[in-house]
Amino acid sequence: MGRGKYEINAITCHLGNGCSVTAVKEGRSIDTSMGLTPLEGVPMGTRSGDLDPAILFYLADKGYGVKELNDLCNKRSGLLGISGLSNDVRNLEELVKKGNARAKLAIDVFCYRIKKYIGAYAVVMDNVDAIVFTGGIGEHAVMLRERICNTVAQIGVQLDHTANQGAVGTEAEISTGDSEVKVYVIPTNEQAAIANDTYELANKSKSDCSNIKSFEKSHA
């Protein structure tokens, strides 16, 4: 975008079997859809995402134990739970084309919840410069990106249909030239991010140890 890292307000949509939406204000994360665990947030492949906590009390009264509830929320909910068929968006898209109502409901709920988070974060940050799609679904699910972007036009998003169709697993700008909010597909590289953070923390630890030793010597 030709601007500094700390001059950008962006909403990142990491969509895969696990999903998170993050508000990045002036280069710093200020809010994210996941909570104490990855269970909170948008529906995922097998995780429920946001739900009314009283649902757990209701199910407990029906005889569900803690381990069963944990398994239900983390492994048998989300796209799999709603569709009753699959946690793979590619499979669900094919089923939607064949008229499967449960698959359509799963995709509808998934897109709707992402739209809600984008809208909430747009208000939280006052203005949005860019929306980024990443993760297995974000990088490859052309139809889902189009559905999501077409429903947030009110915040200034204008999708380039042709660019979106051609952006599959590759870095690309998929918004029109006059779109107020730019939209990008950026392939994720979690391993590199982890390596970079580990390197920085290790060097910081060495620096802190060195400073402590210097302080001790000077005050011996």
The number of residues in the chain equals: 220
Q: What is the pLDDT of residue 215?
A: 47
Q: Both 170 and 97 in a single domain?
A: yes
Residues 160, 139 within the same domain: yes
Q: What is the pTM of this model?
A: 0.85
- Identify the pLDDT of residue 207: 65
Angle between helix axes 66-75 and 54-61 (nearest 10 degrees) is 130
Paired tokens of 112: 């709707």
Q: Are residues 169 and 212 in the same domain?
A: no
Claim to verify: residue 203 and residue 176 sit in the same structural domain: no
Q: Is residue 179 domain-shared with residue 212, that is, in the same domain? A: no
Reduce the secondary structure of 93-130 to three states and give it as a string.
HHHHHCCCHHHHHHHHHHHHHHHHHHHHHHHHCCCCCE
Q: Do residues 202 and 93 both lie within one domain?
A: no
pLDDT at 50: 96
User: What residues contact 203, with CB distance under 8 A and at least 6 apart?
Assistant: none
Residues 152 and 206 grouped into a single domain: no
Q: What is the CATH number of the domain that holds 130?
A: 3.30.420.40
pLDDT block averages, 10 residues each, the chain of length 220: 93 95 96 95 96 95 96 96 95 95 96 96 94 95 94 94 94 95 93 89 73 56
Q: What is the pLDDT of residues 203-212, one digit of tens each?
A: 886 666 555 4
Is the domain of 40 the same as that of 140? Answer: yes
Q: Which domain holds residue 78?
A: 5-188
Predicted local confidence at residue 144, as pLDDT = 95
Tell me, yes or no, whether 9 and 73 share the same domain.
yes
74 and 160 share a domain? yes
Query: What is the reported pLDDT for 193?
Result: 85
Q: What is the pLDDT of residue 211?
A: 56
3-state secondary structure of 32: strand
Residue 24 shares a structural domain with residue 70? yes
Answer yes or no: are the C-beta atoms of 24 and 9 closer than 8 Å: yes
- What pLDDT, on a 0 to 100 scale, did the predictor assign at position 209? 58
Same domain, 60 and 103: yes
Overall domain count for the chain: 2
